[in-house]
Amino acid sequence: MPGSAPGPGQQTGGDVGTVRVLGPIDLVVTEPTVAVIGANGSGKSTLVRLLNGLVTPSAGTVTVHGLDAAEDTSAVRARTGFVFTDPLVQLVMPTAGEDLELSLRRTHRRRGDRRAAAVALLEEHGLGGLAHRSIYDLSGGQRQRLALASVLATDPVLLVADEPTTLLDLEWTLQVQELLLSLPGTGRCAQLVYTTHDLDFAAQAERCLVVAGGRIAHDAPGPAAVDWYRRDVQSRRSGPGVRP
């Protein structure tokens, strides 16, 4: 999100009134790989959802590649791929193959080309032979890999991934993490922003933001930020009133 400068983020909680979730936050993030870590409920998903207009700030602006995410939402979404933690939120077609083909519509105009590209992508993501399988009959990990493949098939400039490996086994976790981290270097997207509770994964990011209570509590290269976060959690656990 080169040139972005999010202001205070806030969102309403429907009939329970207004809930302040984020802010004030003032950030410009240009590094190719950016991790976002922090406790449950600290605001990580909300922060990254600002990047494609899924959440709009109640004050301030979020700029992605020079575009206002709240004003030019469709242009921002055309450039920003978003991988949700729960793949069923984003898989929209009945079968694995059809979902990929939908994502390939812009780059592959001919139906036959789309089908062949979808089959190749399924193979690449360890889903070979599953083109006709209902998305509901895939395992959780298979769905998560399909969701990532479908988003990558849209050729996003910015890829935002919200806990992209939570459902994966160890081998696929390592493979998907390696793939994601390699994307900016291989030109498959310009920037990767991801949230994670996997601190080894976070430590590999060029920049890592530690979110606490809706604010950026620490901002440093991956390894330093992860060290800071571990020490912060440890110090609060050994503090007064906390049982060992």
Ligand X SMILES: Nc1ncnc2c1ncn2[C@@H]1O[C@H](COP(=O)(O)OP(=O)(O)OP(=O)(O)O)[C@@H](O)[C@H]1O
Q: For binding to ligand X (CB under 6 A), which residues are involved?
A: 11, 13, 19, 21, 38, 40-46
Find the shortest distance in angstroms from Cβ 44 to ligand X: 4
- The nearer residue to ligand X, 11 or 73, going by C-beta atoms, is 11
Q: In this complex, which beta carbon is closest to ligand X, that of residue 39 or of residue 179?
A: 39
Residue 120 carries which DSSP code?
Answer: H
- Closest distance of CB 227 from ligand X, Å: 20
CB of 32 to ligand X, least distance (A): 22
Residue 106 or 236: the one with the smaller Cβ distance to ligand X is 236
Which candidate, 129, 186, 139, places its Cα nearest to that of 159?
186
Whole-number Å distance between alpha carbons of 117 and 161: 23
- Minimum distance between the CB of residue 19 and ligand X, rounded to whole angstroms? 4
Give CA–CA dist 198/151, Å, rounded.
Answer: 22
Burial class (CB in 10 A: 0-12, 13-18, 19+), 2: middle
Q: How far is the CB of 236 from ligand X (least distance, A)?
A: 17
Q: In this structure, are strands 191-195 and 158-162 parallel, antiparallel, or unpaired?
A: parallel
- Kindly tell me which of 33 and 84 has the beta carbon lying closer to ligand X: 84
Nearer to ligand X, 38 or 53 (CB): 38
Closest CB 164 distance from ligand X, rounded Å? 12
Which DSSP state fits 135? Answer: G
Distance, in Å, from the CA atom of 58 to the CA atom of 9, rounded to the nearest integer, reads 6
d(CA 219, CA 16): 33
Please provide residue 161's backbone torsions phi and psi, each rounded to the nearest 5 degrees: -125, 120
Closest CB to ligand X among residues 64, 210: 210
Q: In the numeric block, which tokens belong to residue 28?
A: 């410009």
Instruction: Kindly report the backbone phi and psi dihedral angles of residue 95, in degrees, each rounded to the nearest multiple of 5, phi listed first.
Output: -120, 165
